[in-house]
């Protein structure tokens, strides 16, 4: 039906009332006839809530995904900052206000700051523990404070059982130490590893372990120091060696660096693209993609919702090979997973930017294809639900544009939009 000619206020109100009464009546009659048996108010309410939650979830997730894909088409890669030539050895952060005034520099890293490390004896993981049984008490002295801990060793405990009991007791004590049990699958040998969370040579970072009752510390080797604490040693632009008890160093003018590993070659710092923003955008894309996919996949009884998951999988599958090369893949259910080491390398070597921007402005490519689908879900959400559920109590309103040329009315109910063209 097309309405032509001028519409005054009375005409608009009459049209509004006619459409309102007719559409609402038809809508409610269809719902009650097709979906809800007589007197099944509880089932109707549950159906309404579930479907409305699904509609809300895919609408918000698709809107977020659409925006992120637009950002990845260019803006995410356009911001410049100071960058490191070797992020495995050193990362940098620039918080200054005048990037143009920054000069290139080089940093030589002789050693990084580390905390004390005790690596215990390598024991046969599954062999029965040969130390003292019963209650074993040991004490740890660190930061000028001594704390006593205890474990209970039973007759059937293996070496690894006792190592794990000690690790759990140490971690639960909150002493600023991190205890783990590492197992070599090739030799079936396990080792208790205890490391200070704090780095640098400050006396407060040292710790010692001693047996009080039993011999658990000596038997596992937890009391043996394998690496003393140390400070970072570095030099800037060929200057004299500098010492720092922290691996985060201030290079001036809003530039700081985090030392990560010693390097035989100088690490250079130059102006370049801010890859952290791009990586963060990809992480946001994955979250929004998975939110939309999970919402649709969870709406099992709706074929249109399942059709949405199929369309998402089809788009992703078309680019699966190149996506995997930049650290983006999919699990068995179709959800997106990120391999952060590969993703970071792709950001550093430019492959991430190339993938997301090489088809900028064109109608093909992952961005364009997935973006069109996300836009469609966001703007036409009702097309992705087979049975929009609103109860018998509906609050609708009609909006129109173009006085005198009422081409389209938007039928809005409980947060979801249904378009009727006339």
**Tens of pLDDT, residues 378-410:** 999 888 988 544 333 333 333 333 333 333 333
Angle, vertex CA 200, rays to CA 199 and CA 206, nearest 5: 80
CB proximity list for 17: less than 8 A, separation 6 or greater: none
**Inter-residue contact 257 to 249 (CB < 8 Å):** yes
Q: Which domains does the chain have, with CATH numbers?
A: 9-75+278-421 (no CATH), 80-113+231-273 (no CATH), 117-220 (2.60.40)
Query: For residue 315, what are its two tokens?
Result: 């788009």
How would you classify residue 42: left for phi > 0, otherwise alpha for psi between -120 and 50, otherwise beta? Answer: alpha
If pLDDT is split at 50, 70 and 90, which confidence band does 44 have?
Answer: low
pLDDT of residue 23: 46
**What span, in angstroms and rounded, lies between the C-alpha atoms of 102 and 84?**
14
- Tokens at residue 253, please? 């003018």
| Strand 328-330 relative to strand 336-338, pairing | antiparallel
Share of the chain above pLDDT 70, in %: 79
Contact 190, 125 (CB under 8 A): yes
Give the least confident one: 13-22, 176-185, 195-204.
Answer: 13-22
With CA atoms as reference, report the closest residue to 129 among 96, 165, 101, 100.
165
- How far is the C-alpha of 167 from the C-alpha of 326, rounded, in Å? 37
List 330's β-bridge partners, or say none: 336
**Under a CB-based contact definition with an 8 Å cutoff, are residues 382 and 62 in contact?**
no
C-alpha–C-alpha distance, residues 418 and 168, integer Å? 57
The pLDDT of residue 387 is 59
- Distance of alpha carbon 290 from alpha carbon 128, whole angstroms: 46
The tens digit of pLDDT for each residue in 215-252 reads: 999 999 999 999 999 999 999 999 999 999 999 999 99
The whole-model pTM stands at: 0.57
- Measured between alpha carbons, how far is 231 from 421 in angstroms, rounded to an integer? 72
How crowded is residue 175: how many other Cβ atoms within 10 Å of its Cβ? 20
Among 382, 383, 374, smallest CA distance to 68 is for 374
**36: which DSSP letter?**
-
Q: How confident is the model at residue 274 (pLDDT cuts 50, 70, 90)?
A: confident
Q: What is the pLDDT of residues 276-306, one digit of tens each?
A: 888 999 999 999 999 999 999 988 888 999 9
What pLDDT sits at residue 32? 41
| pLDDT (0 to 100) of residue 275 | 80
Mean local confidence (pLDDT), 11-20: 50
What whole-number percentage of the chain has pLDDT above 90? 61
Tens of pLDDT along 114-159?
999 999 999 999 999 999 999 999 999 998 999 999 999 999 999 9
pLDDT at 350: 86
- Mean pLDDT (whole number) for 194-198: 96
- Count Cα atoms within 13 angstroms, Cβ side, for 74: 6
Q: What is the Cα–Cα distance from 68 to 91, expressed in whole angstroms?
A: 25
Please state, rounded to an integer, the average pLDDT across all residues of the chain.
83
With cut-offs at 50, 70 and 90, classify the pLDDT of residue 188.
very high
Distance CA 292, CA 306 (A): 12
DSSP SS3 for 253: coil
**pLDDT score at 40:** 52
Q: Lowest mean pLDDT of 10-19, 150-159, 248-257, 328-337, name the range.
A: 10-19
Confidence of residue 45 (pLDDT cuts 50, 70, 90): low
In this prediction, residue 34 has a pLDDT band, given cuts at 50, 70 and 90, of very low
Mean pLDDT of 301-325: 93
**Number of other CB atoms surrounding residue 266 within 10 Å:** 18
What CA–CA distance (Å, rounded) separates 31 from 256?
62
Mean pLDDT of 351-373: 85
Determine the pLDDT at residue 272: 81
Top pLDDT among 388 and 331 is at 331
Task: Note whether 388 and 418 are within 8 A (CB).
Answer: yes
Residues in the chain: 422
Q: Which one, of 185, 132, 188, lies nearest residue 162 by Cα?
A: 132
What CA–CA distance (Å, rounded) separates 209 from 219? 12
User: What would the pLDDT profile of 60-108 be if each residue is shown by its tens digit?
Assistant: 999 999 999 998 988 888 778 888 999 899 999 988 888 888 899 999 9
List the Cα angle 129/130/134 in 5-degree steps.
Answer: 80
Q: What is the pLDDT of residue 360?
A: 66
């Amino acid at each position: 039906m097309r309405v032509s000619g001028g519409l005054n206020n009375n005409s608009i109100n009459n049209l509004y009332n006619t459409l309102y009464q007719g559409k609402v009546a038809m809508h409610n009659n269809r719902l009650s006839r097709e979906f809800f048996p007589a007197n099944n108010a509880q089932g109707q309410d549950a159906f309404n809530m579930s479907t409305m939650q699904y509609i809300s979830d895919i609408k918000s997730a698709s809107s977020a995904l659409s925006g992120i894909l637009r950002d990845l088409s260019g803006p995410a890669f356009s911001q410049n900052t100071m960058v490191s030539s070797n992020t495995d050895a050193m990362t940098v952060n620039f918080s200054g206000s005048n990037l143009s005034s920054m000069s290139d520099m080089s940093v030589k890293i002789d050693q990084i700051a580390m905390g004390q490390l005790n690596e215990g004896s390598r024991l046969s993981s599954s062999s029965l523990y040969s130390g003292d049984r019963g209650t074993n008490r040991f004490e740890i002295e660190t930061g000028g404070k001594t704390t006593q801990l205890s474990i209970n060793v039973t007759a059937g405990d293996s070496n690894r059982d006792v190592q794990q009991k000690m690790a759990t007791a140490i971690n639960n004590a909150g002493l600023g130490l991190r205890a783990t049990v590492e197992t070599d699958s090739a030799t079936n040998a396990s080792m208790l590893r205890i490391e200070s969370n704090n780095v640098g040579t400050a006396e407060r970072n040292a710790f010692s372990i001693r047996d009080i009752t039993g011999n658990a510390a000596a038997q596992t080797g937890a009391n043996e120091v394998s690496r003393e604490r140390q400070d970072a040693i570095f030099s800037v632009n060929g200057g004299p060696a500098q010492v720092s008890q922290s691996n985060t160093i201030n290079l001036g003018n809003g530039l700081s660096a985090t030392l990560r590993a010693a390097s035989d070659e100088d690490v250079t710092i130059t102006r370049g693209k801010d890859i952290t923003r791009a990586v963060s955008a990809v992480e946001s894309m994955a979250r929004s993609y998975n939110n939309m996919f999970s919402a649709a996949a969870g709406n099992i009884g709706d074929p249109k919702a399942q059709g949405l998951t199929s369309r998402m999988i089809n788009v992703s599958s078309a680019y699966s090979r190149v996506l995997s090369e930049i650290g983006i893949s999919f699990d068995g259910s179709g959800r997106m997973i990120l391999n952060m080491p590969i993703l970071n390398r792709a950001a550093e070597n430019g492959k991430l930017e190339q993938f997301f921007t090489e088809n900028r402005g064109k109608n093909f490519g992952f961005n364009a294809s997935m973006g069109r689908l996300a836009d469609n879900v966001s703007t036409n959400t009702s097309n992705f639900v087979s049975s929009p559920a609103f109860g018998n109590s509906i609050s609708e309103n009609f909006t129109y544009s173009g006085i005198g040329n009422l081409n389209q009315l938007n039928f809005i109910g409980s947060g979801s939009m249904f378009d009727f063209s006339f």
